[in-house]
Chain A
Amino acid sequence: MLAATVRVTRDIDAAEEAVQDAYVQALRTWADDGVPDRPGAWLTTVSRRNALNAMRRGRTLAAKLPLLVGSEGDEAVPDPIPDDRLRLIFTCCHPALAREAQVALTLRLVCGVATPDVAQAFLVAEATMAARLTRAKKKISAARIPYAVPGADELPERLEAVLTVIHLLYATGHTAHSGEDLVRDDLTARALDLARMLRLLLPADREVAGLLALLLAHHARRATRTDAGGRLLRLEEQDRTAWDRDLIAEADRLVVASLSGGPPGRFGLQAAIAALHAEAPSYERTDWAQIRTLYDVLLGLWPSPVVALNRAVAVSMVDGPNAALAEVETLERDGRLAGYRYLPATKADLLHRLGRDGEAAEAYRAALALSGNTAEQEFLAERLRFTGSR
């Protein structure tokens, strides 16, 4: 009975609670109506229903997004697939290797990118990258990092590292920190290929579905992120008719798969947020309240100041810029985002919306000083001129 209920909740504590409640209900109901023909089946059914109800109650999110509550048909993940590429990617993304080595090895060994190109992607000298790769390969061999798909008990944690690496690859390509081109198509294409491959190899994993959905939802908007002159366009300025509807639809289906059958994961939630943006008819008519709720859940799962900063933007659309500014200022005092250019940029935008242009200009200048990307610098410089002209 517990196992059947765990299948619904994917959480033994929650399942135990649901089963206990079912016994309590049984004591009451059976006293009035008599013991049912198959008391075991009765208890199992009630336990599972209790579990589902608890999950619905437990998350405001679940009320807003019914698809978050698992369908009962979605069974456990099948045995890990013995595929060479899968083994290789788990080796490259082994937690015993530094993150930068994981990313470089994955590009080099899984994607087959030549070392000079890997070096260029991460803006380091070829010799530096070659040394980094050699050192990592040496550790794999000396420490005997296994070439294997981890066992079921370790899989979620190890898979998270793989997903993080792929996401990092995409993000690096998507917003190159330095250089002329905002998007390095090569990296984003490689990351998408990897996510698709992983989806094929691990079709039952919900976070894999989430990552692919997240990348697709971003990729659908790639053509509209800059104008013809290479100037960075804000989300509200982008031409939504030019977004790739097929990719958005695909992302949406994957979000549903990612959020069905268990508690939501980090990538599934980020994908749900990206999909809501991609499906909104306009910036103003975006479902900001739901996005904020999704950020609340995400923050509970992943207490990162970057997530909190993104949440503040949603807060500004629901409760106004004043409420959001207070949160951004809290983050600023927290200090963990010192040097993160999106913090002063977000703050500047909020101050501008509040008509405090002097302070906004100061914050834009702070963001400008932190950005190494030409397109981004031009964008910020233009925002700065805009605050000055009012």
Chain B
Amino acid sequence: MAQYAVLIFERETGAELPPESMAAHGRLPQRIAEQGGRVVAGLALEPSGTATAIRGDLVTDGPFIETKEALAGVFVLEARDLDHALALARLTPIVDGGVEVRPLTGFAVMEEG
């Protein structure tokens, strides 16, 4: 199995994610498992307005790259190959945006010493 990051890009409206989307996100790991994949980790990000960027010595308000659809979250999944990963990534609930699928070269969670 190979690992892929699924980057979720959504247009930010200022409103909370609709409840049905939240529920669909909750069911996503189960649905992915049913199709032979596995969700390894997931990150849900606060809106891009809460981001702070650092470029060299310069610290600025906002995300590193301003885009119409902002990075809203990332999850890591395991899949057989790209076709499998794409099929699994298509299950992601999306309101007004899309996802990007990227193979991972590494994934580590640091243990507490």
Q: Across the interface, do A146 and B103 meet the contact criterion of CB distance under 8 Å?
A: no
Q: Across the interface, do B83 and A148 meet the contact criterion of CB distance under 8 Å?
A: yes
Any A CB within 8 A of the CB of B82: yes
B88 vs chain A, min Cβ distance (A):
13
Instruction: Determine the distance from Cα of A158 to Cα of B112 in the docked complex, in whole angstroms.
Output: 47
The contact string, 1 if C-beta is below 8 Å from chain A, for chain B 78-111, is: 0011111110000000000000011101000000
Q: Of residues B83, B85, B86, B101, which shows the largest number of chain A Cβ atoms within 10 Å of its Cβ?
A: B83
Main secondary structure of the interface of B (DSSP, over half): mixed
Any A CB within 8 A of the CB of B45: no
> Which residues of chain A are within 8 angstroms of B40 by Cβ–Cβ distance?
none
The contact string, 1 if C-beta is below 8 Å from chain B, for chain A 61-100, is: 0000000000000000000000000000000001010000
Smallest Cβ-Cβ distance to A96: which chain B residue = B82
Any B CB within 8 A of the CB of A144: yes
Any B CB within 8 A of the CB of A119: no
Any B CB within 8 A of the CB of A142: yes
Any A CB within 8 A of the CB of B24: no
Any B CB within 8 A of the CB of A320: no
> Which residues of chain B are within 8 angstroms of A144 by Cβ–Cβ distance?
2, 80-82, 85, 103
A225 vs chain B, min Cβ distance (A):
41
Smallest Cβ-Cβ distance to B102: which chain A residue = A143
A102 vs chain B, min Cβ distance (A):
15
Number of A-B contacts (CB under 8 A): 28
Chain A interfacial residues counted at CB < 8 A: 10
B84 vs chain A, min Cβ distance (A):
8
Q: Of residues A94, A144, A145, A146, which shows the largest number of chain B Cβ atoms within 10 Å of its Cβ?
A: A144
Chain B interfacial residues counted at CB < 8 A: 13
Question: In chain B between 45 and 79, which residues have their CB closer than 8 angstroms to a CB of chain A?
Answer: none
Q: Across the interface, do B83 and A142 meet the contact criterion of CB distance under 8 Å?
A: no
Q: Across the interface, do B103 and A150 meet the contact criterion of CB distance under 8 Å?
A: no
> Which residues of chain A are within 8 angstroms of B80 by Cβ–Cβ distance?
144, 146
Smallest Cβ-Cβ distance to B105: which chain A residue = A142
> Which residues of chain B are within 8 angstroms of A145 by Cβ–Cβ distance?
81-83
Instruction: Determine the distance from Cα of A144 to Cα of B105 in the docked complex, in whole angstroms.
Output: 12
Q: Of residues A143, A148, A154, which shows the largest number of chain B Cβ atoms within 10 Å of its Cβ?
A: A143
Instruction: Determine the distance from Cα of A150 to Cα of B86 in the docked complex, in whole angstroms.
Output: 13
Instruction: Determine the distance from Cα of A148 to Cα of B103 in the docked complex, in whole angstroms.
Output: 19
> Which residues of chain A are within 8 angstroms of B4 by Cβ–Cβ distance?
143
The contact string, 1 if C-beta is below 8 Å from chain B, for chain A 149-174, is: 01000100000000000000000000
A314 vs chain B, min Cβ distance (A):
39
A90 vs chain B, min Cβ distance (A):
10
Question: In chain A between 110 and 155, which residues have their CB closer than 8 angstroms to a CB of chain B?
Answer: 142-146, 148, 150, 154
Instruction: Determine the distance from Cα of A142 to Cα of B13 in the docked complex, in whole angstroms.
Output: 35
Instruction: Determine the distance from Cα of A142 to Cα of B85 in the docked complex, in whole angstroms.
Output: 13
> Which residues of chain B are within 8 angstroms of A150 by Cβ–Cβ distance?
83
A112 vs chain B, min Cβ distance (A):
25
Q: Across the interface, do A143 and B83 meet the contact criterion of CB distance under 8 Å?
A: no
Q: Across the interface, do B81 and A142 meet the contact criterion of CB distance under 8 Å?
A: no
Instruction: Determine the distance from Cα of A148 to Cα of B80 in the docked complex, in whole angstroms.
Output: 12
Smallest Cβ-Cβ distance to A94: which chain B residue = B82
Q: Of residues B2, B86, B101, B102, which shows the largest number of chain A Cβ atoms within 10 Å of its Cβ?
A: B86
Instruction: Determine the distance from Cα of A96 to Cα of B81 in the docked complex, in whole angstroms.
Output: 12
Other than the given A96-B82, A145-B83, 19 more pairs (CB < 8 A) read A94-B82, A96-B86, A142-B103, A143-B4, A143-B82, A143-B101, A143-B103, A144-B2, A144-B80, A144-B81, A144-B85, A144-B103, A145-B81, A145-B82, A146-B82, A146-B83, A148-B83, A150-B83, A154-B83
Which A positions have Cβ atoms within 8 angstroms of B?
Answer: 94, 96, 142-146, 148, 150, 154
Which B positions have Cβ atoms within 8 angstroms of A?
Answer: 2, 4, 80-86, 101-103, 105
The 7 closest A-B pairs by CB, nearest first: A146-B81, A144-B81, A143-B103, A145-B82, A143-B82, A144-B2, A146-B83
The 26 sampled A-B contact pairs (Cβ below 8 Å) are A94-B82, A96-B82, A96-B86, A142-B103, A142-B105, A143-B4, A143-B82, A143-B101, A143-B102, A143-B103, A144-B2, A144-B80, A144-B81, A144-B82, A144-B85, A144-B103, A145-B81, A145-B82, A146-B80, A146-B81, A146-B82, A146-B83, A146-B84, A148-B81, A148-B83, A150-B83
